[in-house]
């Protein structure tokens, strides 16, 4: 039996009213240890494998994204990821969050905020530069948000996917662009087309989306499916959806409310759950937060993988049809009818 002598000290002096024992003469060491280290509550099981929340992992993700290059054979300078979704979901903020990581400070290049008819009104394929000034090999294409009453015409959505809408084109809700418009891009290059679609949805309000909006998104998704373009859902505002995540972003993959929002998005879009990417954009932050950056880069890296997989399929098709690449300019594998049977 392990015991110790109180050496003349009284229980009051020793326990300082913190310990729950009074029989000091026969106090076992194991008893003291048990009282000092109360058993920890079991950690909730993550619903998705959690990333390592540390600087080293942030560096790994950053390097993966910097080293991303679209497959050579198509001759693309970069891939285009189109952000689409209702107004105010955090599309522009996602670009700002990504751009901030590579700038090394909070950046607000894309205007964002809350306005009834939306803040973004133009098609803007944003580029991200590293600090040396070099551009990364992807563009986050921001566009006008969908509204229940007013939005992009479905034909305009089709033109967006096909690269017919010029960069920085300002949408006119009362006069949708058409092939007679002098700005219309009649023969877009493969690099001007969309290689991955990202539906941007607010995790806190996904359950309240009006049916008309869901229908609009699904209609747009059908178009995307028809063209074989890969898709994912960016689930923003996870801080507003779950208090535990608001207090600590690393709880995102254990938060039950986030898991429920992921399930909902997966059902809504008919996409596997690993295509649903939760993020928290910079909003209140004045300084970069590594955990926010890790979550955003994790999503972005996955989008680049989807775009790359798509390009590989296009290359197989190109080879099968024996068409030359953009440099040879003989035939574009994304030409209408060439990527679908
Ligand atoms: N708390 C919180 N707020 C966010 C988050 N993402 C975006 N916001 C805020 O939501 C509002 C709308 O964000 P935007 O990025 O402008 O949304 P958008 O989808 O680009 O909106 P439109 O351009 O109007 O279609 C802004 O006030 C953002 O600061 C997030 O993850 N958490
Ligand atoms: Mg916007």
Determine, yes or no, domain membership for 309.
Answer: yes
Q: Which residue's CA is minimally distant from atom 21 of ligand 1?
A: 88
Question: What's the total number of domains in the chain?
Answer: 1
Contacts of 72 (CB under 8 A, 6+ apart): none
- Percent above pLDDT 70 for the chain: 83
Q: Which residue's CA is minimally distant from atom 29 of ligand 1?
A: 283
CA 282–ligand 1 middle distance (angstroms): 9
Determine, yes or no, domain membership for 293.
Answer: yes
CA 304–ligand 1 middle distance (angstroms): 22
Looking up residue 181, the CATH number of its domain turns out to be: 3.40.50.300
Spatial distance between the Cα atoms of 138 and 81, rounded to a whole number of angstroms: 7
Q: Which two tokens stand for residue 322?
A: 């024996």
Kindly tell me if the per-residue pLDDT of 139 is higher than 70.
yes
CA atoms within 13 A on the CB side of 228: 16
Spatial distance between the Cα atoms of 340 and 36, rounded to a whole number of angstroms: 67
Spatial distance between the Cα atoms of 217 and 268, rounded to a whole number of angstroms: 10
- The pLDDT value recorded for residue 44 is 83
Determine, yes or no, domain membership for 35.
Answer: no
Query: What is the side-by-side order of every strand in the sheet holding 231-236?
Result: 124-129, 135-142, 79-84, 196-202, 231-236, 276-278
Give mean pLDDT, residues 203-211. Answer: 95
Which H/E stretch holds residue 63? helix 55-66
pLDDT tens digits, residue range 34-43? 667 777 777 7
**Atom of ligand 1 lying closest to residue 117 CA:** 24
Q: What is the DSSP letter of 45?
A: P
Determine, yes or no, domain membership for 328.
Answer: no
Determine, yes or no, domain membership for 7.
Answer: no
3-state secondary structure 253-273: CCCHHHHHHHHHHHHHHCCCH
Determine, yes or no, domain membership for 93.
Answer: yes
Q: Which residue's CA is minimally distant from atom 11 of ligand 1?
A: 113
Structural domain that includes position 134: 55-321
Of 36 and 86, the structure prediction assigns the larger pLDDT to: 86
The full DSSP string for 106-159 is ----S-----TT-S--B-EEEEEE-TTSPEEEEEEEE-PPB-SSS---HHHHHH
Contacts of 49 (CB under 8 A, 6+ apart): 253
Kindly tell me if the per-residue pLDDT of 27 is higher than 80.
no
- The pLDDT value recorded for residue 147 is 87
Determine, yes or no, domain membership for 134.
Answer: yes
Determine, yes or no, domain membership for 4.
Answer: no
Contacts of 192 (CB under 8 A, 6+ apart): 80, 163, 185
CA atoms within 13 A on the CB side of 163: 20
């Amino acid at each position: 039996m392990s015991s110790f002598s109180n050496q003349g000290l009284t229980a009051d002096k020793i326990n300082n009213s913190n310990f729950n024992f009074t029989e000091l003469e026969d106090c076992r060491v194991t008893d003291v240890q048990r009282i000092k280290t109360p058993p920890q509550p079991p950690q909730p099981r993550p619903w998705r494998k959690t990333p390592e929340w540390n600087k080293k992992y942030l560096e790994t993700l950053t390097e993966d994204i910097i080293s991303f290059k679209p497959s050579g054979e198509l001759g693309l300078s970069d891939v285009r990821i189109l952000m689409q979704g209702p107004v105010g979901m955090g599309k522009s903020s996602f670009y700002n969050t990504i751009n901030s990581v590579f700038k090394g400070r909070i950046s607000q290049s894309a205007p964002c905020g809350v306005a009834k008819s939306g803040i973004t009104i133009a098609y803007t394929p944003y580029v991200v530069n590293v600090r040396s000034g070099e551009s990364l090999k992807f563009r986050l294409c921001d566009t006008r948000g969908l509204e229940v009453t007013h939005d992009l015409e479905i034909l305009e959505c089709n033109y967006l996917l096909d690269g017919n809408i010029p960069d920085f084109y300002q949408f006119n809700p009362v006069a949708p662009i058409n092939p007679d418009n002098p700005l219309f891009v009649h023969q877009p290059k493969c690099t001007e087309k969309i290689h991955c679609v990202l539906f941007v949805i607010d995790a806190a309000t996904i359950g309240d989306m009006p049916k008309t909006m869901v229908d609009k998104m699904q209609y747009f998704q059908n178009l995307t499916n028809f063209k074989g373009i890969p898709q994912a859902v960016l689930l923003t505002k996870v801080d507003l959806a779950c208090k535990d995540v608001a207090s600590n972003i690393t709880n995102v993959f254990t938060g039950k409310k986030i898991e429920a929002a992921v399930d909902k998005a997966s059902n809504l879009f008919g996409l596997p759950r690993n295509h649903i990417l939760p993020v928290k954009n910079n909003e209140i932050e004045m300084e970069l937060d590594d955990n926010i950056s890790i979550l955003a880069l994790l999503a972005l890296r996955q989008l680049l993988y989807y775009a790359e997989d798509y390009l590989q399929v296009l290359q197989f098709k190109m080879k099968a049809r024996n068409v030359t690449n953009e440099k040879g300019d003989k035939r574009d594998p994304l030409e209408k009818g060439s990527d679908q049977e």
